[in-house]
Amino acid sequence: MHNGKIILMLWFVLSIFCLGSWLHYPESKALAHGIKYTSKINDSDRAEAFLLSDPYVADVNNDCVVDIYDVVLVCSFYGSTSSDPNWNPRYDLALPYEIIDLFDIEVVLASYGSFIESMGLRSISVWIDDSDQSSEAALLIENKGAWNIVVGKINVRGQECYWSKIYFNITDDSIPELDYVHITTLDTLSITIDNEQYTLQQTRDNITVQPGYTAIVYIKNPDHISINDVGITVGTTVFTSFAMYYKECNVRVGCAVPEEEVPEEE
Ligand SMILES: [Ca+2]
């Protein structure tokens, strides 16, 4: 891009930023996530609505951060309409729709500087041991984004699980569903998944999962789940620096897998 064009573009962006600050309404935070946006303008052609800061919408180049590249990308389609051959509805973020204008750029600016977390929460289980009636939970926390995910707290059935009861391993392996593993020691322990050994350790403050990595997490005696809870649905909540993630599962009876299985005779 020509230098003069870049300077012109930056001047344009700064002007819009000032306009954006003027247009921004704090009560817009009350609106639900996932809708398209508009600015509250006294204009009969536009619906009465509010601007909402939403980095998931504003990150038009999908690199998990809302920055100058997103602003420039939307700016580069300024004036484009749905009848144009290069029309991309991904940049059409605000009313009036079917045209890229100042209001689309302002939606990006409203989330400027925001980072986006992309987390997968799966293989959530809560078991009661069939031999000693102790309870256990397990889950996989996958970082599918571009930034570290810092897990600061895990709740089971609304009760915080203390770090002294949480065991984890961070791996870049692809992990299938987690099976019941009887946790008998308060020291580090080793588990086997798909013939691979994973050493579970403890932490005192948080679990950090790097992009592309998965945290294998086992929790001993979450919320004093008892044999009476078998079949009942319980919710697990994972709190990160940016968000909270909630998933439910039914309490099951867990049976420890024998350490050395006898191969079947042919
Ligand atoms: Ca971006």
241 CA distance to ligand 1 centroid (A)?
19
111 CA distance to ligand 1 centroid (A)?
10
User: Domain limits at 209?
Assistant: 119-254
CA atoms within 13 A on the CB side of 257: 13
Section 80-99 average pLDDT: 93
Residue 133 has pLDDT above 90, yes or no: no
Whole-model pTM: value is: 0.69
pLDDT in tens, 23-54: 443 333 323 333 333 333 333 333 333 455 78
Regarding whether 201 and 99 lie in a shared domain, the answer is no
Regarding whether 161 and 105 lie in a shared domain, the answer is no
Q: Alpha helices of the chain — where are they, by DSSP H?
A: 3-23, 55-58, 68-76, 102-110
Q: Is residue 266 part of a domain?
A: no
Total domain count, the chain: 2
Of the residues 110, 142, 176, which one is the last residue of a structural domain? 110
pLDDT in the model for residue 243:
85
145 CA distance to ligand 1 centroid (A)?
12
Residue 123 has pLDDT above 80, yes or no: yes
pLDDT in the model for residue 93:
93
Of the residues 77, 110, 143, which one is the last residue of a structural domain? 110
Residue 208 has pLDDT above 90, yes or no: yes
Residues with Cβ < 8 Å from 86, sequence gap 6 or more? 77, 80
pLDDT in tens, 147-193: 899 999 999 999 999 999 999 999 999 999 999 988 765 556 888 89
Q: Is residue 261 part of a domain?
A: no
182 CA distance to ligand 1 centroid (A)?
44
Q: Is residue 265 part of a domain?
A: no
Regarding whether 130 and 249 lie in a shared domain, the answer is yes
Of the residues 110, 131, 154, which one is the last residue of a structural domain? 110
Regarding whether 127 and 39 lie in a shared domain, the answer is no
Section 202-207 average pLDDT: 93
19 CA distance to ligand 1 centroid (A)?
21
Regarding whether 10 and 55 lie in a shared domain, the answer is yes
Residues with Cβ < 8 Å from 257, sequence gap 6 or more? 179, 180, 181
82 CA distance to ligand 1 centroid (A)?
23
Q: Is residue 143 part of a domain?
A: yes
Regarding whether 94 and 12 lie in a shared domain, the answer is yes
pLDDT band for position 116 (cuts 50, 70, 90): confident
Residue 13 has pLDDT above 80, yes or no: no
Q: Is residue 263 part of a domain?
A: no
